[in-house]
Amino acid sequence: MTAIWSVDSDAFLENAKKVKNQQPMMAVVKNNAYHYGLEFAVKQFLKAGIDTFSTTSLKEAVRVRELAPNATVFLMNAVYDFDTVRENEIHMTLPSLKYYYEHKNDLHGIHVHLEFENLLHRSGFKTLDEIQEVLQDHQQNSNQDKMIISGLWTHFGYADEFGVPEYDHERAAWLEVLNTLLDEGHHFDLIHAQNSASYYREGQVVLPHHTHARVGIALYGSRPYSSLDEEVIQQSLTVKANVIQVRDVQQGDYCGYSWAFETQNDNTKLAVVDVGYGDGILRTRAQHEALINGKRYPIRALMMSHMFVEVDDNVHAQDQVVLYNEDMRIDEYTFKGVGANSEQLSAMNHDSLIKEYR
């Protein structure tokens, strides 16, 4: 018996189509497509009619290019391996004025998207003035073989925060930059800003003048914020393990390493389950339940390869123990404080779990 990580391919595709909502979409496939598998995800997204992808690593961008020869591939991090970017026709962010002046000659023939920094402060031009400076310098650059300005973009850091003004601020600052540049007559083939939270906050449509929404987590079946209905986004992932044996313990018995769980009642039944943090179950997840034969039972201790679940007479050796499925969703536990959706997805150990696509 080994715990299983499994994805229902049809459900994944159906969700992607539903999220896309016939809007132009750039699928974010960073970190091995949120750990759903880069190759699997790109193929499903192509089937869903998505032909534009973005990631943070050049290695992944090159792999996407192989998988999708005709797609637009956008690299959200600036890199210094200019030849690889050029040879693979990868679009790349232009992350600062300093980078531009240091590398404008290296960037010849490369499609760049000017990035506006905004509240996240991770990357991008600080002000409209800086962007205008680049546009002007570029226009005056008489070099025949120079970089190609193809896009304009930003990233929102607060789209999943409600009851605070930050999202409205970053949204307004961005639209001001965008509209000013468009009013000045500048044109960009690609304009993109919205992550999943922003996309849904705006009514599951792209903002005016934008060519794409740049969506990640929703495409992978988790809701970016809790007030969204569960039906709107559907999870295709199941993570399940097995009951190895059920043990009786008595009041006062300490179970697990170093007094992990103190038994409260006599004749308590603990199911020993073959999954643990070594398989990627977050420690915070163990403060909640596991689903056995359709019923939720409390997890009592988490170890590297095992967990204890307190059960009743209805649970037996070899029963399946669900940690995540369509009824026990990653996002449910995110909203209970376990950690970001992407954090739990990223932690899954694909080497120790059996990995299958159904």
Ligand X SMILES: *Cc1c(COP(=O)(O)O)cnc(C)c1O
Minimal distance, residue 8 CB to ligand X, in Å: 20
Tokens of 342: 């992407």
Task: Give the CB-nearest residue to ligand X.
Answer: 216
Q: CA–CA separation, 93 vs 172, rounded Å?
A: 21
What does the alpha-carbon distance between residue 141 and residue 25 come to, in Å, rounded to a whole number?
33
**Separation between Cα atoms, residue 56 and residue 61, nearest integer Å:** 8
Concatenated DSSP letters for 210-250?
Answer: -SBEEE-GGGGT--SSTTS-GGGS---EEEEEEEEEEEEE-
When asked if residue 217 is in the footprint of ligand X (CB under 6 A), the reply is yes
Stretch that binds ligand X, among 79-87, 215-223, 230-238, 326-334 (CB under 6 A): 215-223
Q: Which CB sits closer to ligand X, 119 or 260? A: 119
20 binds ligand X (CB under 6 A): no
Candidates 32, 52, 118, 195: give the one binding ligand X (CB under 6 A): 195
Using only C-alpha atoms, what is the Rg of the chain? 24
Among the listed residues 254, 257, 295, 336, the single catalytic one is 257
Contact window for ligand X (CB under 6 A) among 7-15, 83-91, 208-216, 304-312: 208-216
Helix (H, G, I), strand (E, B) or coil at 137: helix
Extended strands (E) in 111-200: 111-116, 148-154, 190-192
Kindly tell me which residue out of 171, 214, 223, 240 binds ligand X, with binding defined by CB under 6 A. 214
The region that residue 331 occupies, defined by phi over 0 for left and psi between -120 and 50 for alpha, beta otherwise, is: alpha
Q: What is the largest CA-CA distance in the chain?
A: 84
Instruction: With CA atoms as reference, report the closest residue to 286 among 296, 305, 299.
Output: 299
Q: How far is the CB of 86 from ligand X (least distance, A)?
A: 22
What DSSP letter does each residue of 296-324 carry, written as one string?
EEEEEEE-SS-EEEEE-TT--TT-EEEEE
155 near ligand X, judged by CB under 6 A: yes
CB-nearer residue toward ligand X: 45 or 297: 45
Q: Is 30 a catalytic residue?
A: yes
Token digits for 46?
A: 């192509």
Q: Is 336 a known active-site residue?
A: no
Q: Which of 20, 30, 104, 240 is catalytic?
A: 30
Q: How far is the CB of 182 from ligand X (least distance, A)?
A: 21
Query: What is the nearest approach in angstroms of ligand X to the Cβ of residue 201?
Result: 12
Among 196, 235, 238, 268, the residue binding ligand X under the rule CB under 6 A is: 196
| Binding status of residue 301 toward ligand X by CB under 6 A | no
What angle in degrees, to the nearest 10, is found between the helix axes of 38-47 and 9-20? 60
Provide, rounded to whole angstroms, the least separation between the CB of residue 217 and ligand X: 4
Helix intervals (H) in 229-309? none
CB 216 → ligand X: shortest distance, Å?
3
Compute the distance between CA of residue 79 and CA of residue 107 in angstroms, rounded to an integer: 11
Q: Stretches 104-112, 189-197, 267-275, 313-321: which one binds ligand X (CB under 6 A)?
A: 189-197
At its nearest, how many Å lie between ligand X and the CB of residue 232?
Answer: 14
Find the binding residues for ligand X in span 220-279 (CB under 6 A): 224
When binding is defined by CB under 6 A, the residue of 3, 48, 73, 215 that contacts ligand X is 215
Q: Which of residues 66-125 bind ligand X (CB under 6 A)?
A: 76
Other CB atoms within 10 Å distance of the CB of residue 160: 19
Number of residues that bind ligand X (CB under 6 A): 12
Tell me, rounded to whole angstroms, the distance of Cα 151 from its chain centroid: 22
Which of 7, 28, 78, 275: binder of ligand X (CB under 6 A)?
28
Q: What angle do CA 190, 194, 196 make, to 5 degrees?
A: 135
Binding site for ligand X (CB under 6 A): 28, 30, 76, 155, 195-197, 214-217, 224
Catalytically annotated residues: 30, 257
